[in-house]
Chains A and B, each alone.
Chain A
Amino acid sequence: MKQKIRPMEKIMSGVFLFCGIIAIAFVLFISIYLIISGLPAIRQIGLAEFLLGDKWASTASEPKFGILPFILTSIYGTCGAILIGVPVGFMTAVFLAKVASPKVAAVVRPAVELLAGIPSVVYGLIGMMVLVPAVREAFDLPDGASLFCAIIVLAVVLLPSIISVSENALKAVPREYEEASLALGATQIETIFKVSAPAASSGIAAAVVLGIGRAIGEAMAIMMVAGNVANMPSLFASVRFLTTAVASEMAYASGLQRQALYSIALVLFVFIMIINIVLNSLLKRKGD
Chain B
Amino acid sequence: MKKFNRRSFLAICSAVAAVSIMTACGAASSSSVAASSTVSGSSSAAASTVSVSGTVNTNGSTSMEDVMGSLIEAFKEVQPGVTVNYTGSGSGAGITGAQDGTCDIGLASRDLKDEETGVKQITLAKDGIAVIVNPANPVADLSIEQIAQLFNGEITNWSEVGGEDAEVVPIGREAGSGTRDGFESITGTEDACVYQNELTSTGEVIANVASNPNAIGYASLSAVEEDSTIKALTVGGVAASEETVLDGSYLIQRNFNLILSDSKELSEAAQAFVDWATSTDASDLIAGAGAVPVAE
- A residues with CB within 8 A of B: 12, 15-16, 18-19, 22, 57-61, 128-129, 132-133, 136, 142-145, 223-224, 227-229, 238, 240, 247-249, 251-254, 257
- The answer to whether B167 has its CB under 8 Å from any CB of chain A is yes
Given contacts A57-B191, A128-B207, A143-B169, contact A249 B176 (CB under 8 A): yes
User: Are B93 and A254 neighbours in the complex by a CB distance under 8 Å?
Assistant: yes
Output the least CB separation between A116 and chain B (Å): 22
Determine the distance from Cα of A43 to Cα of B283 in the docked complex, in whole angstroms: 47
Determine the distance from Cα of A15 to Cα of B14 in the docked complex, in whole angstroms: 9
Determine the distance from Cα of A60 to Cα of B180 in the docked complex, in whole angstroms: 12
Given contacts A57-B191, A143-B214, contact A228 B199 (CB under 8 A): yes
Q: List B contacts of A143 (CB < 8 A).
A: 169, 196-197, 212, 214-215
Output the least CB separation between B18 and chain A (Å): 13
User: Are B174 and A248 neighbours in the complex by a CB distance under 8 Å?
Assistant: yes
User: Are A228 and B197 neighbours in the complex by a CB distance under 8 Å?
Assistant: yes
User: Are B191 and A133 neighbours in the complex by a CB distance under 8 Å?
Assistant: no
User: Are B175 and A142 neighbours in the complex by a CB distance under 8 Å?
Assistant: no
With A128-B207, A228-B197, A254-B90 already in contact, 14 other A-B pairs whose C-beta atoms are closer than 8 Å: A12-B6, A18-B13, A22-B16, A59-B181, A61-B191, A128-B204, A129-B207, A132-B211, A133-B212, A142-B196, A142-B214, A144-B212, A228-B199, A254-B93
The contact of A59 among B14, B166, B176, by CB within 8 Å, is B176
User: Are A229 and B212 neighbours in the complex by a CB distance under 8 Å?
Assistant: no
Determine the distance from Cα of A248 to Cα of B208 in the docked complex, in whole angstroms: 16
Output the least CB separation between A179 and chain B (Å): 34
Determine the distance from Cα of A129 to Cα of B16 in the docked complex, in whole angstroms: 39
Given contacts A15-B13, A136-B212, A254-B89, contact A228 B196 (CB under 8 A): no
Q: Which chain A residue has the least Cβ–Cβ distance from B172?
A: A229
User: Are B167 and A228 neighbours in the complex by a CB distance under 8 Å?
Assistant: no
Query: Which residues between 39 and 92 of chain B lie within 8 Å of chain A, taking CB atoms?
Result: 62, 88-90
Q: List 23 A-B contacts (CB under 8 A).
A: A15-B10, A15-B13, A15-B14, A19-B13, A57-B175, A58-B175, A60-B190, A61-B190, A61-B191, A128-B207, A136-B212, A142-B167, A142-B196, A143-B169, A143-B197, A145-B196, A229-B198, A238-B195, A238-B197, A252-B176, A254-B90, A254-B93, A257-B175
Q: List B contacts of A59 (CB < 8 A).
A: 175-176, 181, 191
User: Are B212 and A248 neighbours in the complex by a CB distance under 8 Å?
Assistant: no
Contact with A along B193-207 (1 / 0, CB 8 A): 001111110001001
Q: Which chain B residue has the least Cβ–Cβ distance from A61?
A: B191
User: Are A227 and B198 neighbours in the complex by a CB distance under 8 Å?
Assistant: yes
Interface-central residue, B6, B90, B215, by most chain A CB under 10 Å: B90
Output the least CB separation between A157 and chain B (Å): 20
Determine the distance from Cα of A18 to Cα of B214 in the docked complex, in whole angstroms: 58
- The answer to whether B177 has its CB under 8 Å from any CB of chain A is yes
Contact with A along B162-180 (1 / 0, CB 8 A): 0000111100001111100
Q: Which chain A residue has the least Cβ–Cβ distance from B65?
A: A252
Determine the distance from Cα of A18 to Cα of B14 in the docked complex, in whole angstroms: 11
Output the least CB separation between B87 and chain A (Å): 10
Given contacts A223-B200, A252-B62, contact A142 B191 (CB under 8 A): no
Output the least CB separation between B132 and chain A (Å): 15
Determine the distance from Cα of A238 to Cα of B204 in the docked complex, in whole angstroms: 15
Q: List A contacts of B169 (CB < 8 A).
A: 142-143
Q: List A contacts of B93 (CB < 8 A).
A: 254
Query: Which residues between 1 and 44 of chain B lie within 8 Å of chain A, taking CB atoms?
Result: 6, 10, 13-14, 16-17
Output the least CB separation between A20 and chain B (Å): 10
User: Are A227 and B176 neighbours in the complex by a CB distance under 8 Å?
Assistant: no
Determine the distance from Cα of A144 to Cα of B208 in the docked complex, in whole angstroms: 10
Q: Which chain B residue has the least Cβ–Cβ distance from A133?
A: B211
Q: Which chain A residue has the least Cβ–Cβ distance from B93?
A: A254
Q: List A contacts of B212 (CB < 8 A).
A: 133, 136, 143-144
Determine the distance from Cα of A253 to Cα of B90 in the docked complex, in whole angstroms: 9
Determine the distance from Cα of A253 to Cα of B200 in the docked complex, in whole angstroms: 12
The contact of B197 among A60, A227, A249, A254, by CB within 8 Å, is A227
Determine the distance from Cα of A19 to Cα of B9 in the docked complex, in whole angstroms: 10
Q: Which chain B residue has the least Cβ–Cβ distance from A253?
A: B176
Interface-central residue, B17, B88, B176, by most chain A CB under 10 Å: B176
Interface-central residue, B16, B169, B181, B215, by most chain A CB under 10 Å: B169
Q: Which chain A residue has the least Cβ–Cβ distance from B168?
A: A142
Q: List A contacts of B211 (CB < 8 A).
A: 129, 132-133
Determine the distance from Cα of A224 to Cα of B196 in the docked complex, in whole angstroms: 13
User: Are A249 and B174 neighbours in the complex by a CB distance under 8 Å?
Assistant: yes
User: Are A229 and B197 neighbours in the complex by a CB distance under 8 Å?
Assistant: yes
Q: Which chain B residue has the least Cβ–Cβ distance from A57?
A: B191
Output the least CB separation between A207 and chain B (Å): 28
Given contacts A15-B13, A142-B166, A254-B90, contact A229 B199 (CB under 8 A): no
- 7 smallest beta-carbon distances between A and B, as pairs: A252-B176, A142-B167, A60-B191, A59-B175, A228-B198, A143-B169, A227-B197
